[in-house]
Chains A and B, each alone.
Chain A
Amino acid sequence: MADAVDEARIGWVRQALSDHERSLVRYVARLLGDEEAAREVVQEAYLRLWRASGESDPRPGADGHLRPWLFTVCRNRALDALRREGRMRTMELDEAARAPSPRPGPSEQAEKRESMGRALEALERLPASQREVIRLKFQEGLSYKEISAITGHSVGNVGTLLHVGIKTLRAALSEDEGVTNARRRTP
């Protein structure tokens, strides 16, 4: 029988789930190149959150770091999964980068390509470590410090990855500006 304490815990996990699961799945899907596998990883992370919430006091993330905690667990699990599948021999993420991205159907793909902004196109061409940090920063709104905690890069390193990544993107965009504009005008 679930008692009141359990009810509260369940409510807490439910909230954490509805608040963050979507961005976690999106993030992990990028790492694994597989959205279904990403869902698994994210659910495993929440299962861990649930269990940890019964064992440790205070609860993980009770200090306001729930979101980075979940990202960290998801990332570690995702890397485990990649290692298990032999798709990654080291902690190097670039390996995973070459894995196919989440597999949408052909029509979805066409749609995606059409709606994909120029910055996103360029982003896909960056090294995986920069891409990951850029996504964590601009898609998930995490701070340098939180990104550092999640990825294991030092805060300074996070700053450098972001700086270099943005610089490359800017160069890429200004380079094909003319081309893109011309293409846009003739659909």
Chain B
Amino acid sequence: MSIDANDPRLTAYALGELAGEERAAFERELNGDAALLEEIDAIAAMASLLEGELASEEGEGLGAKGQEAFMAGLAVEASAGRPGRAVEGAACEAPSARVIPFPFWKVGLLASAAASVLLLLVYVGTATMAPGDEAAVASSEAGTPERGWEVAPPEQEGQEGQEGEQGSTTEGLKVPVGEAPSAPPVSATPPPDAVSPTVPMPPPVSTEPVVASADVANGDGHVTITAKPQGVQLRVDGRLAGGDLGTLKLQQGFHGVVPGQGQADGYGAFGLLGGHQDEDVDGIPTDGDGRWRSGVARGESYAKVEENAFKDVRTDPLSTFSVDVDTASYSNVRRFLRRNTLPPMDAVRIEELINYFDYSYAPPQGDDPFAVHLEVADSPFDAAQGGAPARRLVRIGLKGREIHAQQRPPSNLVFLLDVSGSMEAPNKLPLLKQSLGMLVKQLGEKDRVAIVVYAGASGLALPSTSANQTGTILGALNRLNAGGSTNGGAGLELAYRVATEHFVPGGTNRVILATDGDFNVGVTHGGDLQRLIEDKARSGVFLSVLGFGMGDLHDRTMETLADKGNGNYAYIDTPQEAQKVLVDQLSGTLVTIAKDVKLQVEFNPAQVQSYRLVGYSNRMLAARDFNDDQKDAGEIGAGHAVTALYEVIPVRGASAPGVDPLKYQAPGTLTPEAASRELLTVKLRFKQPDGDTSTLRTFPLEDAGRPLSQASADLRFAAAVAMYGQLLAGSAYNEGVTWARTRELAQGALGVDAHGYRREFVELVDVAARLER
């Protein structure tokens, strides 16, 4: 035998490096030798172990900010010089090795408009800044650990006579949002004044008047500081936690020297200069305390949330909405708080916070997929303390039928995994592999799993495989590597094709998309993707979305996809969250027990003056949609609980500010039922998972006048979560809501809390309270 254990072809063969004739020849030589085949298996096992462990190795890379800074530099080179030539006098002249005395990425430059991030322009003026002190000096110190924002006297005098009219004002300016378009434009070229030769910079720093550029430590962003005739311009690319530039902390790499003395004492929003392609750029950039209203935390996009207001029962007796069992907002908000940052307000979807938790609602008895539990007590949102609060809190609790693991119908799952370059971070692909590994271990022989990956090209990484071949599936998962751009569309089509090919009638047929939400190549245009997903949902293949990672999270895209695909959207930030979603609540994640679940509440005008629905802002439906079976709504999985809270103002209570009585109309006539003690009637419509027509159930509620202290722990806890959400979202109805009350209410309503989720919530309340201070 010519092959011994030292033959490197064994390894080449095990790794699939031998091809064609070479491979055939080697196989002939092997001749089925058991010892050699074992050797090859051992090599392959070692290879897969190495791949797995090496994949988990951390690496920051340049980071999104580093990439942006670099690209900004290139944009300047592109605009300043001919392609391929270094810019004279600029930092890029790099003939040989010692070279690049001041690489532009160290200096930091204006980002190009091509960078589709939301930019916030901030001018800083200092009360003590004298005209002529504008010049500032850059000092770049790579590797310097976190530093505070340093304020020091200028190292070089600026030129006289360059003070602009609006320069050196004592306060930051706040320009109304409507004027945003007139704000100084940022283009691929620096603004004209930015290259003004009248702003002296010490050589060999480039003629760019960029003073410093750094990452924000107390937030999530990047700051570029540019010398301007009228002062120093700070450009924040991202989000500040405190919003107070006086405490702006810059991370390693640079420290800038702000001219003048004293602290930077002003800031102001100048509106939006760029615009994220997925973002409503008409959002209000800040709410005045520096938090971004229309939150974009470095590339993350969130749809704007419009809070539901109090509605008058006489004019709006019906409140209609779609259920939502998503929980992503809760874990996403938690991620921000764990980083000691307040979340963008629009990242807070209160219903998702409330529905994150388990409530002890009894499951249904009969054939119906749910039980409905109603309760009413004093509203903790009410500011009136000590007396009888005027407002009442109604809790509507839906509990889906539970399905135990053994009874779970067979599943045909297709994992559609994003392996694009952006997924390389440790909290993305490695966590994804780990999470799906946990899921695979829950599956049995009646289940099937296929893996489709998408990046530059999409492909089938694992054909549909019986889930009892755990090793094969885990091996395929482990071999995935990140790299390439994202083409979610093609991947999605392939995933649906595989799911359709292995369709299990009466079973769970589901594509599980795991991504950071960055669908950036050739998709989503004209809603094609959405239509595809809706079509497939109708054919019985549902879509669930698992969000991973930070930085590129496109929250809205992901929620929409899951919504259209009759699926759910969870955000996986930790292995513990994966355990919750993919192991503990697997049946709920996989098995849909009812679809298009809609709620309509009719209020009794004899009892209720006005009401408001807490959360569900983007789930509202028109009253007529309730009976329209063509109208898509939310799905409920096995064992899922859905909770909705209404704050109501009884007729006998204090009047809410509203419109004057009508001059030409009298209130409509009341039916005999209005004379009952019923506060409201909850109407519920749902379809069977494979049905087309809906079933209606109605549940009236009477108010027994219970105080909050006698309400169930579930009501009190849900109320505390809603208060937390309202505080984080900057609700207009926070008059009686404080962090202290929130904490107290939650602490007194922990219940059994088998998984410790409620205790964790109390911790998050403390973190948020500290950050808001």
- Per-position binary interface string of chain A over residues 28-71, scored 1 when its CB falls under 8 Å from any chain B CB and 0 otherwise: 01000001100110111011001111110000000000010000
Q: Looking across the interface, which residue of chain A has its beta carbon closest to that of B518?
A: A18
B9 neighbours in A (Cβ, 8 Å) = 159
Give chain B interface residues in 73-111, CB to chain A under 8 Å. Answer: 74-75, 77-79, 82-86, 92, 94, 97-100, 103, 105
Q: Looking across the interface, which residue of chain B has its beta carbon closest to that of A40?
A: B103
- Distance in angstroms between the alpha carbons of A1 and B94 in the assembled complex: 22
Any chain B CB within 8 A of the CB of A162? yes
Q: If the complex has contacts A50-B74, A162-B8, are A120 and B53 also in contact, measured as CB distance less than 8 A?
A: yes
Listed stretches B41-49, B175-183, B700-708; interface member? B41-49
Please state if A162 and B421 are interface contacts (CB–CB under 8 Å): no
Q: Looking across the interface, which residue of chain B has its beta carbon closest to that of A29?
A: B59
Please state if B50 and A18 are interface contacts (CB–CB under 8 Å): no
B50 neighbours in A (Cβ, 8 Å) = 119, 123, 134, 138, 166, 169
Give chain B interface residues in 131-190, CB to chain A under 8 Å. Answer: 142-143, 188-189
Any chain B CB within 8 A of the CB of A135? yes
Any chain B CB within 8 A of the CB of A89? no
Any chain B CB within 8 A of the CB of A186? no
A9 neighbours in B (Cβ, 8 Å) = 78, 83
- Rounded to whole Å, the gap between the CB of B459 and the closest CB of chain A is 14
A177 neighbours in B (Cβ, 8 Å) = none
- Distance in angstroms between the alpha carbons of A15 and B728 in the assembled complex: 36
- Distance in angstroms between the alpha carbons of A166 and B82 in the assembled complex: 49
Please state if A117 and B56 are interface contacts (CB–CB under 8 Å): yes
Q: Looking across the interface, which residue of chain A has its beta carbon closest to that of B50?
A: A138
**A50, A67, A123: most-surrounded residue (chain B CB, <10 A):** A50
Any chain A CB within 8 A of the CB of B461? no
Please state if A18 and B422 are interface contacts (CB–CB under 8 Å): yes
Give chain A interface residues in 105-131, CB to chain B under 8 Å. Answer: 112, 115-120, 123
Q: Looking across the interface, which residue of chain A has its beta carbon closest to that of B425?
A: A22
Give chain A interface residues in 144-180, CB to chain B under 8 Å. Answer: 144, 156, 159-160, 162-164, 166-167, 169-170, 173
- Rounded to whole Å, the gap between the CB of B200 and the closest CB of chain A is 26
- Rounded to whole Å, the gap between the CB of A161 and the closest CB of chain B is 9
- Distance in angstroms between the alpha carbons of A139 and B189 in the assembled complex: 39
Please state if B424 and A22 are interface contacts (CB–CB under 8 Å): yes
**B42, B71, B189: most-surrounded residue (chain A CB, <10 A):** B71
Please state if A22 and B12 are interface contacts (CB–CB under 8 Å): no
**B59, B70, B189: most-surrounded residue (chain A CB, <10 A):** B59
Q: If the complex has contacts A18-B421, A80-B97, are A139 and B84 also in contact, measured as CB distance less than 8 A?
A: no
Q: If the complex has contacts A6-B83, A19-B484, A134-B50, are A166 and B421 also in contact, measured as CB distance less than 8 A?
A: no
Any chain A CB within 8 A of the CB of B305? no
B57 neighbours in A (Cβ, 8 Å) = 26, 120, 139
Listed stretches B60-68, B316-324, B718-726; interface member? B60-68
Any chain A CB within 8 A of the CB of B483? yes
B481 neighbours in A (Cβ, 8 Å) = 140-141
Any chain A CB within 8 A of the CB of B17? yes
- Rounded to whole Å, the gap between the CB of B551 and the closest CB of chain A is 11
Please state if A54 and B84 are interface contacts (CB–CB under 8 Å): yes
- Rounded to whole Å, the gap between the CB of A180 and the closest CB of chain B is 13
Please state if B17 and A44 are interface contacts (CB–CB under 8 Å): no
Q: Looking across the interface, which residue of chain B has its beta carbon closest to that of A143?
A: B17
Please state if A2 and B483 are interface contacts (CB–CB under 8 Å): no
Q: How many residues of A contact B (CB 8 A)?
A: 68
- Rounded to whole Å, the gap between the CB of A28 and the closest CB of chain B is 10
Any chain A CB within 8 A of the CB of B500? no
Q: Looking across the interface, which residue of chain A has its beta carbon closest to that of B483?
A: A19
Any chain B CB within 8 A of the CB of A13? yes
- Rounded to whole Å, the gap between the CB of A109 and the closest CB of chain B is 12
Q: If the complex has contacts A25-B62, A44-B103, A120-B54, are A10 and B46 also in contact, measured as CB distance less than 8 A?
A: no
- Rounded to whole Å, the gap between the CB of B94 and the closest CB of chain A is 7
B60 neighbours in A (Cβ, 8 Å) = 22, 25, 35
- Distance in angstroms between the alpha carbons of A40 and B59 in the assembled complex: 15
Interface size band for B: 35 or more
Q: Which of A2, A19, A159 contacts B189 (CB 8 A)?
A: A2
- Distance in angstroms between the alpha carbons of A119 and B484 in the assembled complex: 27
B189 neighbours in A (Cβ, 8 Å) = 1-2
Any chain A CB within 8 A of the CB of B55? yes
Any chain A CB within 8 A of the CB of B760? no
Please state if B70 and A17 are interface contacts (CB–CB under 8 Å): yes
Q: If the complex has contacts A19-B485, A119-B50, are A2 and B78 also in contact, measured as CB distance less than 8 A?
A: yes
- Per-position binary interface string of chain B over residues 532-563, scored 1 when its CB falls under 8 Å from any chain A CB and 0 otherwise: 00000000000000000000000000000000
Q: Which of B43, B58, B79, B112 contacts A166 (CB 8 A)?
A: B43
Q: If the complex has contacts A119-B50, A162-B11, are A20 and B485 also in contact, measured as CB distance less than 8 A?
A: no
Q: Looking across the interface, which residue of chain B has its beta carbon closest to that of A34?
A: B143
Q: Which of A21, A29, A54, A119 contacts B46 (CB 8 A)?
A: A119
- Rounded to whole Å, the gap between the CB of A70 and the closest CB of chain B is 12
List the interface of chain B (C-beta within 8 A of A).
5-12, 15, 17, 42-43, 46-47, 49-62, 66-67, 70-71, 74-75, 77-79, 82-86, 92, 94, 97-100, 103, 105, 112, 114, 142-143, 188-189, 420-422, 424-425, 456, 481, 483-485
Q: List 28 A-B contacts (CB under 8 A).
A: A1-B79, A1-B189, A10-B112, A14-B114, A17-B71, A19-B485, A22-B421, A24-B61, A35-B60, A43-B62, A47-B92, A51-B84, A51-B86, A54-B82, A54-B83, A55-B83, A67-B483, A80-B97, A84-B98, A112-B58, A138-B50, A139-B54, A139-B55, A159-B8, A163-B8, A163-B12, A166-B50, A170-B42
List the interface of chain A (C-beta within 8 A of B).
1-2, 5-7, 9-11, 13-15, 17-26, 29, 35-36, 39-40, 42-44, 46-47, 50-55, 67, 80, 84, 112, 115-120, 123, 134-135, 137-141, 143-144, 156, 159-160, 162-164, 166-167, 169-170, 173
3 cross-chain pairs, A with B, having the tightest CB-CB distances, nearest first: A54-B84, A22-B61, A54-B83
Task: Other than A2-B188, A21-B61, A39-B62, give 10 A-B pairs with Cβ distance below 8 A.
Answer: A6-B83, A10-B78, A14-B71, A19-B483, A22-B62, A43-B103, A120-B53, A159-B8, A163-B6, A166-B47
